[in-house]
Structure 1
Amino acid sequence: MIGTTLAAISDHIEALSSETGEYSLVCARYGDRPVPAAGLRFESRAAARAAARATEQYRDALRRYDPQVPYYDVIVRQEYAGDEGVDRGVCDGSADGDAGSGRSAGDAHDVRRFSATEAADWSLSDPAVGRDPGPNPDSSRDPEPSPVPSRDLVGFCHDAAAAVFEALSAGDHDAVESAVMDAYFAFAEERSDPDGLCLRLLEAMAFELRRGLEPTEQAAVLADAASRLPVAPDADPVAGAFERLAGAGVVGSYAADSGGDEPPAESVVVHVSDYALTPRDGRFPTLPVALELCRHGDRSPPRAVRVDAVEGGWRLGIDTASGDEPSGLTSAPIRE
């Protein structure tokens, strides 16, 4: 299962990391730090090499449902303070091998040494899906590109998309799977900020699930997808779900209407701001919200999600009671 595989590999890489380590992973060609190892450091060369192998496995698994995930030449980079006399190795593998290591420059996961000053020039980037490596990229299509998603947001999108794809496959919804990819490619062509394509994939899923599946089928797919993600039961599923969404950067902030000391109600209103996904054609992509509500509850989706446009953001009405046919689980009409 792709979703389970991605989560397991990501956890393995996280376990190999160390806050005080002097090794990190980068792409030899572009200098990007590949997800899921972006921002992580490793204590030893051996740990970093193991993380590099796991990173390649993660991206190979990811590529099964997102063929635009770029192929990175993942190498280990060593930084250590106070060394201004070490020449920077050429990232395409033409530099000499690591001194004293007995390894040639062409070996997989070779180690390049950088001074602290040189290391400061490297920037953090989550995966640049479909990046154009040419010297004069066309920036005219989007003069004010969206902010680059954080590592947490990219990871959230990948995990959610993988789980939904697995659920669609298990439910024999092949036509919807194909429609999602077609819509994703169409969305991708409209964007000049390739780092945001993980969000476009979730948007494509949200709208194609609504178009291709009946409401009860949507609910079944979400329940199945939630079962493929780590268990996160919560006494208050709504609060737990939105805390996770805020932590991942799917929402900038949220505030639930207070019910005092009463138990969680069957109908809850939550105000959110800075939603990461883009509404289209008068509809709001609720898929991440419904999926997290499933995961933090009893693995069953809410009955309905309603969306109102309000000053400064959105008002989401969430009905958790069982009963009528579900609605608004993948996308919901925006009420003014």
Structure 2
Amino acid sequence: MLEALTDVRKEKAIAVKEGGGVGIILIDPVAKYVLFQFVIPSVLIGKAEAEELQMYIKTEKNPIARIYLIVTNVGTKPAPTMAIFSSKGPNIITPDIIKPDITAPGVNILAAWSPVAIENTAGNSINYNIASGTSMSCPHVSAVTALLKSVHPNWSPAAIKSAIMTTATTTDNTRHFIRNDDSTNANPFDYGSGHINPAAAVDPGLIYDFDTNNVIDLLCSYGASVAQLKNLTGTPVHCKNPPTPSYNFNYPSIGVANMTGSLSVYRTVTYIGEGPTIYYSNLEAIAGVKASVYPDILRFSKSGEKMTYRIDFVPYKSSNGSFEFGSLTWRNDGHSVRSPIAVNVVSV
């Protein structure tokens, strides 16, 4: 979506330049704050600014337009907010896994750039450029991943993913819940587990780990054949009968895409810490579903210890094809390990 958006802007600016124009004022209510390199001096405005500008042109005998250099504003509030072009859930391929996993800075990111002059830099040779999209949020998460691996060299990719997801924040710098660009409340299908918090991810307290066998179980739950699995493993692999339900995949988030009556979801956590500790559960209510966690207290005696818990879901109202959200958070004296929950109650 973002690429199409910038391509249209690019073509408009090129057309104005070819027509002899020296600047362009582009009305773009959807993404007026998303910047990129134009071929001529340009400014982006929204609907309200456009109406004001048109009134000025109509009433002023000799209207004048002046485009100033862009200014960086620090400490903007509220922040973060979810960009209009950000990919949204639910997950189509594996609906029991909430997507996205996480959100990270991805709008108007100033970053190093190849000095080769290309169309996307308006034909200019530059060392830094401003860009937006997944291509900018991904490097932020990749860098955090590299930092976590340097601190915890023995962690698996799944453990790193878990640490990033369970320590993310769902509030902005005004201490309100993160919102979308249109000022509506965001949810796990907008930001996943929340906005990335690198400092907290270094010491997550608990992690949700999984290995190749767990991934095979997940693929089996979606009907993978022996031939398909062999393409991945190189050796014949047979699925369990019956297969492990996909909602029991040991992921840091919890999703049930087709809830037909009561069911239980299982997760296993690994303690990452020093000495004995106790974690207490806090289950956020889910509309139309009665949920309880057992055990509701986890007692660990040493680092590396694993414990399994279950969440019992008893639906009492259909969600009419939409998902309802909640969360489960495990807390001790210094850690908060949060998993978003999304359930779609098909029938009770």
Q: Using structure 2 for the length normalisation, give the TM-score.
A: 0.29
Kindly indicate which of the two structures has a greater share of residues assigned to helix: 1
Q: Using structure 1 for the length normalisation, give the TM-score.
A: 0.30
| Higher alpha-carbon Rg | 2
Kindly indicate which of the two structures has a greater share of residues assigned to strand: 2
